[in-house]
Every structure is written in C-alpha cells, then in structure tokens.
Structure 1
Amino acid sequence: MGDPDVLEMVQEEERRAGSEERFFEDLSSRESSFLISEEPRSAKRYNLFLRRRLMFKKDEQSKDSIFFRDGIRQIDFVLSYVDDIKKEAELKAERRKEFEQNLRKTGLELEIEDKMNSEDGKTYFVKIHAPWEVLVTYAEVLGIKMPIKESDIPRADKIPFSCMLGPLKLPRNVKHPHAEYFTAQFTRHRQELFLIEDESSFFPSSSRNRIVYYILSRCPFGIEDGKKRFGIERLLNSHTYSSAFPLHDGQYWKPSEPPNPVNERYTLCQNWARFSYFYKEQPFNLIRDYYGEKIGIYFVFLGFYTEMLFFAAIVGLACFIYGLLSMHDNSSSTEICDPEIGGQIIMCPLCDVMCDYWRLNSTCLASKFSHLFDNESTVFFAIFMGIWVTLFLEFWKQRQARLEYEWDLVDFEEEQQQLQLRPEFEAMCTHRKINAVTKEMEPYLPLCSRIPWYFLSGATVTLWMSLVIACMVAVIVYRLSVFATFASFMESEASLKHVRSFLTPQITTSLTGSCLNFIVILILNFFYERISAWITKMEIPRTHQEYESSLTLKMFLFQFVNFYSSCFYVAFFKGKFVGYPGKYTYLFNVWRSEECDPGGCLVELTTQLTIIMTGKQVFGNIKEAIYPFVLNWWRRRKARTNSEKLYSRWEQDHDLETFGSLGLFYEYLETVIQFGFVTLFVASFPLAPLLALLNNIIEIRVDAWKLTTQYRRPVAAKAHSIGVWQDILYGMAVLSVATNAFIVAFTSDMIPRLVYYYAYSKNAIQPMKGYVNNSLSIFLIADFPNHTVPSEKRDFTTCRYRDYRNPPDHEDKYFHSMQYWHVLAAKMTFIIIMEHVVFLMKFLLAWMIPDVPKDVVERIKREKLMTVKILHDFELNKLKENLRMNSSDFAKHLIIQENKVHLAKSAT
C-alpha cells in the first residue's frame, strides 16, 4: 500500500481532471459530433488538449480575446514582423527562426498568426505565453515578492478631516483592489508557502510581461562576425521584428467578458483617465499593478507635487491680489502718472540719433502693472517659497518611504534590470574580466575604447549649449535692432504731449523677443533630443542605470540652459551694464545695451516667464494629446483594409503608439523644468505656482488618458524612487534661494525704495514722496557726443536717466553718488541675510522632519518579524514532516524485515 497522503492527492487530481472532462464534453455535445464518451479514460485524458483545440473555432474567436487559439493559454507578449523583399530578407528570416527556437528552449510557448489572417494582409504576429514552470523559475531569478499571508496591520488611510474629503475619494475596491499581504521573495522550493489559489492568476500580468521581456532581452539569435548576438532590442533596431509589446487587458471603453480576466485597463480608464475626475485622487495601487512600480511612482510623485503646489498657489494668488488692491495706492506709480510730476520729467533718448526725448508719464500703465509683482509681498513670497520647497522635498521623502513599504520595495536595491548589463554592452564587448564582487567572468570595455566617445559627448553638449547662448545673443541683437524702430514712432512728439501707453518700446520689444525666443527654444530642443540619445548610445553604457544617468545629465544641462538662459539674462544682466548718456556700453561696438523700464526689469522678467512657461505647458499638453491620437487614427485607417477579417486584440494594440523606454524620462524632465520655473524665478512671478497647478491637474489626466487609450502597454519595471531626479530637485532648491534673493535685490525696486524710505526721505508724513525724482539722475544735453545726440533739436537743457550718479555741476560729474553705494551695500546685506535665514530654516526643517515616518518604521519592523516567523514555521513544519515520513519508512522497513525473517523461519 502507498502512503495515504499521496493517495489522497492523486484522488483529488483525478476528481479535478474528471470535472474538467465533463465540462468540455458538455460543450462539445452542443457544437459538434466529436463525442468520445465511449473511449477509455486514458484515451480521454490523452486527447483532452486536442478536443479543446477542436472546439475553438477561429471565426468564433472574440476580437477582445487575449488567449491563444485554444482559448486557455493567455498571451503575455506579442512580436510582429513583415516580409522583407530586400537583400537582407533571408538573414532576417534566419535570425527570427533561430530566435524563436531559442525562446522555445527556454520554455516559452509560441503561436504564430499568418499574415493572411491579419487585417492589413502583410503582418505576422508571434504570440508568446509563459507557462507556470517558466514563471516560477524567473520569478526566483528576478526576486519577485509574492504573498505568503494576509497582513494583520491595518491600512494607514485615516487622515484628519477625511470626512470632508469624501468627494475626492475613489471607491475602496478601486483604491485598494487587493488585500494587504505579508510577502517574501518567491522560490520554487517553497511553493507551498505562498498563497497560490490559481496558477493562471497568481502572477499579475505586469509581472508576467516583465519576466517574458527579461527572457526576450537575453535570448540569442545567432553568431555574426564572430560575436554572439542576442536580445530583442537588437532585432528591433535591425528591423528583423517591427514591434514587441505586452497586450492590454482588453478594450478601454468596456469591461471584459468571460473567460477573459478582469479588465484593469477599463477600470483605470473609468476612474483615472477621465477629465471629469480631475478632482479625484489617483488609484496608485491599480496603476502599480497594471503598469509596474516605475510608472506608478512617477504618478505618485506628480500627484504629490501637485498637492503641494496647491498651498504655494494660494499664497502666490494672495500676494498677487494684494498687489492688485494696493496698485492705486502705490506712491511710485502715482508720481509717474501725475502730469505735474511724471509729465514734467523729460527722459533721455532710448537709442542713438533715431530716438527722441520722452516724458516719464508715458510709462504710467507699465509702472502700475509692475507694482502687481514688485511690492512688499515679494520679499515675503520669496522667503515662503524657500521654506515651501524644503517642506516639499522633505515630505516627499516621507511619502516615498511609505510607498516603499506599501509596494514591497523596502529591501529593494536597484532592480536587476537596472544593475544587470545592457544587451548592447555585452554585444559590443570583446574583452572579459573577473567581477570583483561575483568572481565571475563578465564583458569588459577598456577605458581607452570609451575615451573618444566621452570627448565627443562632452564636445557635443558644450557645442549645443554654446549654440543656445548664441541664439540668445541673436535674440538680444534682434531686440536691439527693432528697438530703435519701435522707439522712433512710439516715443515721438506724442510722448512729449503726455500721451500714456502701456506698449512702451521696452514692453513691445520684450513681448516679440520672448515669443521669438520660445520658438528658438522649441526648435533647438527638437534636434538636441535626438542627438543626445544617439551620443549616449555611442558611449556604450554598461547598465540601464548608467544609460539613463548619462542621458539625464545631458538633457538636463541642455534644457536648463535652453529654457532659463533668457530669464537669467533679463534678471541679472539686462540694464546692469548700460553705462550712462554720453558713455553708453555697446554690444559688439554696434548696438547699445538694453535698458530696463524706469520701474525696473521685473515686468520684462515676468513677461518672459509667462510666455515661456505657459507656451511650453500648452504646447506640451497639445503635443501629448493630439500627436498620438492623430497617428493612431491614421494607422488604424490604413490597417482596416479588409473589414471582413477579425481585428484582433494584438492587431489593435499593434496600431497604437509606442511609449518607449524613454517615455517616462521625458515626463520627469518636463516636470523638473516646470519645477525650475516655479522656484528659481518665483519672486518675480507669484502666479507661477498657480499656472503650474492648473497645468498639472490637466497633465495627470492627459498622461493617464494617453497611457490607457493611445499607447501600447509598456513593459513593467520596478523602481524604489524617482532616481537621479531627486538630486536635481535638491540642487535646484538650493539654487532657488540664491536666485530669488538676487531678484529681489537687483531686479526689483524693493531695496532702493527701502533705502530711500529710511535714509533719504525728508517727508515724515509721506515718506515715499519724491522717490521717483530721487531715483533719476540728471544729464546735460550739451554733453551728448555727436553720434548719439537725437537728430531733432529740443529746447531742453537736461534730461533724466535711471541711475545714482552725480549731477553735471558736481566736481565728479557722472560718477556714482554716495547713495549708489548705500543702495549697493543694502542689496548685498539683504542677499546675505535672506540666504542665511532661509538656509537656516531649511536645515532646521530637514532635521526636524524624519525621512521615514515613525509609523512606517514600526510597520516595517512588524512585517519583517512576521515574515521571519512564517518562514521559520514553514521550515520547521517541513522538517517535522520529513522526519515523520522518514520514521514511517523506517517502520515499514522493519516490518518488511521481520516478515522476511518470519517467512524464512516458516519455510525452514
């Protein structure tokens, strides 16, 4: 007799097989005469798979099916290719044959759809299924964590005033689609430990496609030129295959029908990708389950950043409203607009020869507009944003730590996909050396082979950054060239007759120059993206992490210069080196340096920021939404030439846009550049956080919509943080403190007003009265050189210009006055004080706020303790079972020996 436990397992398997047979016999009796009930049981079991295939008819297959033709094996990945009529057709066919044979050797199951069955009549599809044995093997290799017991730790969902946030919440089954579990790294030898209810659904689809892609990326397809060639990426680059992608769960506009599994794509589309749900929270756990942790953590970061922007936007809007309400009480603009004050002040020409004198009150509206962004609240908002950015980064570290616990990433050290060698690196390397850590031979590329590409890479980045600077100088030359034209007809005799206009030559030139600069930025960005990706590939980075880090550095340096250089110019250089009438500074000895408006350059900086920031965000959202939609529509229109054929799931996904391995990279880059606009120059534009908030609310839904409906499903990947972007954000946060301090000190008119208020005002009742006259120096018209004096003669003897210089009757005429040095000292003092105050508060907040919340630390300890206990109990029970079985076998052995002895004695 056999062991009772083993017999029980066999009987249970017999019952399960019998129930399956009865189910398929009932189905077959309705459709065909292939009844084989008379056959012996062994023949039935032998032909079970055959009967399933016979029952499944091609013309009855649903276009939403995600299974092989047998209707049982789920499609985990799809490859496609078309016949090539060129010379390399045979080589590509041989590569595909070898590649697919090697895939089958790894255990993957393949099914090929002939081109005659495809909608366009020319595309072959290779459907791939990973059976259970392959999944468990590579789940162990990749260290995938799977559930071992339902968690007894309650969810940390309760937050203060949560009842008031009810309309923002998602249904619980969407927010938390699965229960919480204690998990452990999967291993084949402990399968009994894991909660395996159904092998077909135990591994989520994101894990399945990650495992298959891991195999595809390392599967060889032959030896060429004495080198072993492998990897699906190389086959895609050589156009041996035209695409490789995992399937979506089903249609995004309707739920799936049995036998298809639950359509998570539809759930995401209904609860995440709808624009009418802009006020709702995001289903982060569902995003992670469907797209993987790497994409999931991006949306967590974008959502958290948007939530924090809400507070900055409220404070910025309050500062703007304060400037709006106090605009009419501003003494500076009042004096400028007063016909008896500003109307009597004759200003020096804005350009040589062609420009005429003009009256100060012609800039009345511009001075009022300047007060909206240059008022007492500017200093407060600059300090507030310095604190806000610190709180944002510190709270993000906490949110990230909580996410690592919730998504089983606590012990995650960079995913194997990131640390393992890139297939391109392995293919290009001819040298090998022993790895000091693993003590195994691995591909090695000598430094001498990399140096030329490093030099080329550095030279390319430097060249393009220089090109950006050159384009910025070209825009400056454009502004200087057209400035005289604007000034000649806008500041003519009309200005001397007290005509007020908002479109001063400075504002008009700034508007057109900013628009031109934005167009140049987009053009340069378009070309540089492609060049930087090519250069990074030529460097042959060793790992995926090195590849992304190298590309990130190149792209960020370029875009930093590309988007911010014009803002830095207006904020810190324009109007600072103008000189004075009679001794102006010239660019290339031809064009006179640009001057700021009498109210300062802050208005022009605000204009520049508004055009570039708003234009970039609007252009980006339109491109992200319209571009894939139009391409997909056109691709479907071209493909649907044979309407009588089945437009299958793999064909539908094949006609979608590819998200690409760098799709997420560009999303991060866009967000970080926006973060720079919000922090680096926010002292000049308090509405920047509000614009960023409105953009991000739309951005989240646009990204969700395009990922869910317009793009093929990306291959799932793991990540425990936002990576190198976090270091970039920290660097920009530190830089923002300095830039905002310098903007308040040197670009705004705040410090000169304060110096006048406390040191030079002679009116105790109205301390700011006379400030405008005090801030303008006097120039004797007779001192104009012949090449700069206006062509039209006037009866004025003096004109005014913005600076602190001695008058013509002073012994040191036109030299800086004592007030200039007082103002300069005050500016430097303000910068030092503001930076030290903000940095001190940043360090205190960083020290007070722990990186990992206390409750998360306790939860991590609890889970580790329970995991160890569960594993210990499992191994202990397994040991006892082995001992029990061994003792049982030993007892049987003794009984057999005794029986033999007894029989021998009886025979004797």
Structure 2
Amino acid sequence: MKVSWSSYDTYEANFRPLVVVELAKDTKDETKEWLTQKIVDKKKNGGAQLLVKPLIQDGKEIEGSKNIFIIGASNLRLLLGAETVGLVKECNDNSMRTFTYTTRKTFRNFAEDNHDFLTMAECQYIIKHELENLRAKDETMIPGYPQAKLYPGKSIMRRLMTNGILIQIFPLHDAEALKKLGHIWYRQMKFRYQPLDEIRCYFGETIAFYFAFLEYFTFALIPMAVIGIPYYIFDWEDYDKYVLFAGFNLVWSTVILELWKRCCAVMAYRWGTLMMKRQFEEPRPGFHGVLGINPVTGREEPVYSSFKRQLRIYLVSLPFVCLCLYLSLYIMMVYFDMEIQAHLYHEENQSDLSSLMLYVPSIIYAVVIEALNRLYRYAAEFLTSWENHRLESSYQNHLVLKVLVFNFLNCFASLFYIAFVLFDMKLLRQNLATLLITSQVLNQCVEAVLPYWLQKRRNQRVKKKVKELEKDVDLSLFEQVNLEKGMDTYLGTFDDYLELFLQFGYVSLFSCVYPLAAVFAVLNNITEIYSDALKMCRIFKRPFAEPTANIGVWQVAFQTMTIISVATNCALIGMSPQVNALFPDSKIELVLIVVLAELQPLSEGAFFNSESGYLQHLALALKFLMSYGIADKPQDIRIKLARLEFESLEALKQQQMKMVAESLKGQTP
C-alpha cells in the first residue's frame, strides 16, 4: 500500500547537505525563485518536496556562490522516496524485500530516530530521482527565458541543462566516510580483497560491480599466469607444447564468465538490486523532436520518427564506421611496411641499435592504436547522439556496438594477419607483447597519472583542499562545495570495462603463443585497482549511485569474445606440426578449411574432413555445455527468489478474494 504524500509534512529545519545544484552566473533571480519553489513545493502541487538552501559562509552570501544551492531532505521524505524508487532492504527474517513505509518496522536496523537506515548513496540517488522527475504542469517556458520552452510533462532539470541555465548537479562527499574508505581501500598496499560492501554503500552498485569484476578477473587470471610462466621459460621455441595451453585457455575463458554470473547474483541479492523492479524508462536528456503524445504514458513529449533514425544509422553512421575500419586496416599495412624496413635495417647492420629498431614499429603502432581508439570514441559519441535515440539504454547499446567493433579490429587485426596470413609466430609474440604492455602503460598514464598531474597544475589550492578534505572532517561546507565543484566529472565505467575487454581479448585469443600475457595482465590489474580507487576518491566528483544487478551489456561482449577465442585457439592448434601433417601442401588451405568448417552447418563433410574443424565444433559444444551446466544463480538464491514470488502470488490471491467478497457482500439477495 502506497502512502499519500500530501498526508505528511516533510519539512525539517536542519537537514543533511546531500546534493549540490550550480546554476549559471547570469541566471536571473526570477528563475532561481521559481526553481527553488518547485524543489520545496509539495508533491500534489508538482514539486519535489525537498529542502533547499543557498550556499553561504558565516551567514553571508558571497559573490560567486549565490548561484549554488544545497539540496537535502528530511528523514521521512527520504523513506517515502525509498518506496517510490523501489529500494530493496533486508528484513528481520533475513529475507530481502522491497521497502514500503507502512511496513518499515519489519526491516532490519530500522528505527524512527535512525537516520543511517538508508546509506548516503541511496539518499543522494533518491534526491536525484526526484529532481529529474520535476515536470512542468501549466508552465510554457522557464521564467526569465522565453526561448526555453516547456510543456506539460517536460523534465524541468533537463530543460535547464540543455539551455545552459543549469551547470551541474553532483552529490557531496562525506569527508569522514571517505577517509575511512580510503584507508581500507587504497592507502594500505596489501594484496587482499577489496571492501566491496563499503564501496557499494559509498558509491553505489554500478561502481561496486566494476571493482568487483576487476578483482574477480584479476584472481581468475592467476591460474593462466602460473601456467604461463613455466611455458614461457622452458618451451619458448617449442610451439607444439602450446597446444595444451590453448586447450586450457578454451575451458578457462568460458568457466570464469559463467562463475562470474553466480558471484554477480550473490552480490546483487545481498545489495538488494537483484529484485528491484525496472522503472519505466524516461526519454534521455539529449532526445529531441516534435511535440506529441506518448502512446504508453499519455504524456506530451518529443516524438521523432524511427524511420529518420534508421536513415541516419544506415546512411551516415554505418558508412562512417566502415570508413574508420578501412583506415584502421590501411594503418595496419603501413605498420607491416615499417616492420619490413626495420628487419632490412637489422640485416644490413647487425648491431645493438638495429636490434632495438626491431621493436620501434610495434611501439609506434601500439601508440597509434591507442590514439585512434580515443579519437574514434569521440566520433562514435557524436554520431550516436546525432542519431537521436529516445532511451538511454538504446543510446548506450549503439555506442557500445560502434566502439567495440572498431576497437576489436583496430587492436586485433594485425595479430590475426600475422598468425593466419604471415604464419610468423615470432612476430606474433613480439607484436602481442608490445601492444599489451604499451596499451597498459598508456592507459595508466591517461586514466590516473595525467588527471592527477593536470589537477595539480590547474589549481594548487584545490590540491591542498583535497588533502584537507580527508584530514579535516570539520571542513566548512562552503569550502567543501567550492573544492568539489572544481573537480573533474567521472564519466562512468565505459572506458574501464573497455580496457578490461581488450585485455581479455589479448589473453584469451593468443596467450597460447605468448603465455606471459596473463602475467602482465595481473600486474596491470593490481595497479589498476589502486589507481582507480585513488581517482574515485581524490580526483573526480562523487558520482550519483545507480542501482544495477550486473555489468550489463559487457557480459554479452565478454561472452562474444570467448566464442571468437574458440575459433582462434583451435586454428592455432591446427597449425601445429602434428595437426598440420594432415595437410602438407599448404597452411593457407588448412586455415580456409577451418574457417569454412566454422561457418557452415554441422554437416558430415565439414565435421570429419578437417581435424581443426572437428576440434572447433567439439570445443564449441563443450563451451555451450559448460554454459548450460553452470547455473547463473546459486541454488539458495533461486530458492529465496522463488519463495518471494510465491508469497507475492499468495498476497495477490488474498487481495483478489477480499475484493470479490466485498463486492458480493454489497449485492442484494
């Protein structure tokens, strides 16, 4: 049973500062008054029923801060908001249930005077949800800005942002909690499990799942690294010995992803996101179109033709992506020309310098690859935004697809060419090692070292206050807000997952040729954990928490990579002298048979005429059997979810029977 908002007074004189809203410096006073009134007004009047105060220092409004407002909420308002967004909390009977205000006393650690029942991240998420759902009623424009048109149902905050009136919204750090988290997370240089529950409480589930996956993937790489070291030391020139390593690689890449699903389900259940109901997805802020009626909600909102969107995708975006792929292949061929020149130079000189020159083309190519990946990312974001997707999920799916296709070809095309066209295993090992190590060093510099250095160069005073933020818990609110609003904005986990995806590709596709790939990946990820933790706590603004139950579309991306790795590893096994003895005429012929056997259906000729084709089908069958045999959720989690579903159905039956009984009671005999 939902509680009526109008029956509660959620005003509180002294509230906890949670969220900062910064408006443009030239924002008109009537706009400020109208917006603050919207924020504090009751829900029945179209407001958010939150608390708002201007940023002041020692009771005085200071120039430069008069356009900054602090948003908070009473404890009662946050509890009602928790019911609105569908937060799931632990009950006294150890079960996880959706929070409702009327049944609040059945939840563990709840007390009327306990303001810590909801984490600070959950409170900030609730406020963000309420601000984003501030919608126009009778207004036709933003007061003071006739060009900023409004219509019934339009998100006010999104209109303010698209018109440059709203600069930013960000959640405040908790200095004391941040200090404690940093101490147990990255200040102690110990190889141990991360404090994932604490990370989740402070940053939310999306950030916590990324660090959980980073940690899990690092530990999963250890068996590959342990096996790879002796293979590298003792069997460097004996390629046939790598057949066993490739076979282990096939099993490993499938098992770790299936086991991750189980770990993911356990964490999502414990954190209460496994059972959260997906809310109706609103249009993304950048979506635009002609004003119309949404057939589902009945509200007025922009409408854009899906046919026009498809034209933009297939006539502009797709040709552009193909052009970028061609450019990537052209640069790859330039790299191979550089390799030829380097080898000719070495053959003529036979010196230490000429030996070093053999690695120069690979290093240059690795740097160019990283530069192209980042430039293409900006182009992909622009194109995907220009396609004008209505939903954020659709936007993210198209962006991820564009980026992954280009990054895969840009990073791995040269490796496939060397392995299956040039058949040069020595060059393949050299190229793989150079690409892997160079990309890891560049990513560490770009993601952690460079932002930290730029922050230091940009404002020494900000750096000093960052240190004060962790040391001085009593830092004034005025100083804290001015400190944090100058920090960089965290853009999400996209680039972090992309880095892990490419790393997984290097390990799963060709690590049988270069077994130390897993070793370098482990070393990189250990430093990545600490550098990412540092940037989350020291460099970036605190991001809003976003409830999620898994790593999203990246799970599909990693699973797709495992399927590709089956074909790659089987082809590498098929190129060994033992298997290749069956095809003495041409290795290229063997590769063609492998590819055809993989692409065509399981016919008798394709299955038995090629040893490599047989191996690929067997490996794929084993992969899908393992995927089917390893349940996505542990047995105890499935039982708990089934019990909750059963109780919900029983409660629905009881409610329907009660309604039927009341209707029959009202009928005259």
TM-score, normalised via structure 1 length = 0.61
The equivalent residue for 2:665 is none
> AA paired with 1:566?
S
Question: 8 Å contact 2:436–2:503 — kept in the other structure?
Answer: yes
Candidates 449, 452, 455, aligned match of 1:632: 455
Aligned-residue sequence identity (percent) comes to 26
1:431 equivalenced with 2:295 (yes/no)? no
Closer/same/farther in 2, CA of residues 863 and 518 from structure 1, 3 Å limit = same
Q: CA deviation at 1:850?
A: 2.0
1:541-574 Cα distance to aligned partner (Å, 9 max, x none): 2222112111111111111122112222222223
Residue of 623, 632, 643 corresponding to 1:842? 623
Partner amino acid for 1:317? I
Matched, 1:705 2:531: no
List per-residue Cα deviations over 1:620-672 (Å, max 9, x = no partner): 11222222322333454256999999862222322322112xx2111111111
Partner of 1:302: 214
- Given that 1:217 and 1:230 are in contact with CA atoms closer than 8 Å, whether structure 2 keeps it comes out as yes
CA distance in 2, matches of 1:99, 1:187: 29
Deviation at 1:108, TM superposition (A): 1.6
Is residue 394 from structure 1 mapped to residue 258 from structure 2 by the alignment? yes
How far apart, CA to CA, are the structure 2 residues paired with 1:284 and 1:738? 36
Alignment of 1:772-787 (within 5 A): none
Is 2:502 the counterpart of 1:673?
yes
* Residue correspondence of structure 1 range 594-605 to structure 2 within 5 A: 601-605=424-428
> Structure 1: which amino acid aligns with 2:119?
P
Task: Name the CA shift for 1:568/1:232 in 2 (closer, same or farther; >3 Å).
Answer: farther
1:266 and 2:179 equivalent?
A: yes
Q: Against the structure 1 CA distance between its residues 754 and 551, is the aligned structure 2 distance closer, same or farther, given a 3 Å change threshold?
A: closer
The structure 2 residue matched to 1:820, chosen from 585, 588, 600, is 585
Residue 734 (1) aligns with residue 515 (2): no
Secondary structure in 2 aligned to 1:272?
A: helix
Separation of aligned partners in 2, 1:190 and 1:683: 57
2:34 equivalent in structure 1: 98
- Contact 1:432-1:441 within 8 A present in 2 as well: yes
Amino acid corresponding to residue 454 of structure 2 in structure 1: L
Q: Pick closer, same or farther for the CA change 1:429–1:716 going to 2, 3 Å.
A: farther
What is the match of residue 212 of structure 1?
Answer: 127
**Partner of residue 448, structure 1:** 307
1:415–1:719 CA contact under 8 A, matched in 2: no
Alignment of 1:577-726 (within 5 A): 601-637=424-460, 648-660=479-491, 663-726=492-555
Q: Does 1:129 align with 2:41?
A: no
1:479 aligned residue: 339
User: How many angstroms does 1:471 deviate by?
Assistant: 1.6
- Contact map agreement 2:284 2:390 (CA 8 A) in 1: yes
Letter in 2 for 1:409: T
Distance 1:668 1:440, change over 3 A: same
* Preserved CA contact (<8 Å) 1:77 1:128: yes
The question of 1:854 aligning with 2:619 is answered no
Change (3 A) 1:465 1:321: same
Using a 3 Å threshold, how does the CA distance of structure 1 residues 283 and 871 change in structure 2: closer, same or farther?
farther
Is the contact made by 1:115 and 1:121 (CA closer than 8 Å) also made in structure 2?
no
Aligned pairs, how many? 602
The Cα of 1:376 is off from its aligned counterpart by 3.1
Cα deviation digits, residues 521-560 of structure 1 (max 9, x gap): 1221232222211221122222221121111111111111
Aligned partners of 1:120 and 1:640 also within 8 Å: no
User: For residue 247 of structure 1, what is the amino acid of its counterpart?
Assistant: L
Max Rg structure: 1
Whole-angstrom CA distance in 2 between matches of 1:415 and 1:309: 37
1:825 is displaced (CA, Å) by 5.8
- Give the Cα separation in 1 of the matches to 2:59 and 2:553: 46
Structure 1 counterpart of 2:89, which letter? Answer: M
In the alignment, which of 144, 147, 150 is matched to residue 92 of structure 2? Answer: 150
Instruction: Give 1:237-636 correspondences, 5 Å limit.
Output: 238-250=163-175, 256=176, 263=177, 265-274=178-187, 276-277=189-190, 279-323=191-235, 371=237, 374-414=238-278, 419-425=281-287, 428-435=289-296, 443-454=302-313, 455-481=315-341, 483-490=343-350, 510-574=358-422, 601-636=424-459
Deviation for aligned residue 1:615: 0.9
Query: How far apart are 1:295 and its partner, in Å?
Result: 1.4
Alpha-carbon distance between aligned partners in 1 of 2:105 and 2:555, rounded to the nearest angstrom? 41
**After the TM superposition, which residues 877-888 of structure 1 pair with which residues of structure 2 at under 5 Å, given as runs?**
none
Q: Which amino acid aligns with 1:838?
A: A
SS of the residue 1:150 aligns to? coil
SS of the equivalent of 2:633 reads coil
2:115 pairs, out of 200, 203, 217, with 200
Distance in 2, matches of 1:406 and 1:511, equals 49
* Conserved? CA contact 2:89–2:272, under 8 Å: no
Which amino acid in the other structure matches residue 359 of structure 2? Answer: L
Q: Give the conservation status (yes or no) of the 8 Å contact 1:293–1:719.
A: yes
* Counterpart contact for 1:209–1:246, Cα < 8 Å: yes
Structure 1: give runs of 5+ residues left out of the alignment: 1-48, 50-67, 84-88, 152-180, 251-255, 257-262, 324-369, 491-500, 576-600, 760-817, 876-908
Paired amino acid for 2:274: V
Q: Secondary structure at the match of 1:431?
A: strand
Is 1:751 aligned to residue 573 of structure 2?
no
Shift of 1:488: 3.6
Which structure 2 residue ranges, 5 or more long, are not aligned?
1-10, 42-46, 469-474, 595-609, 656-669
1:750-789: CA deviations, max 9, x gaps? Answer: 327973xxx9xxxxxxxxxxxxxxxxxxxxxxxxxxxxxx
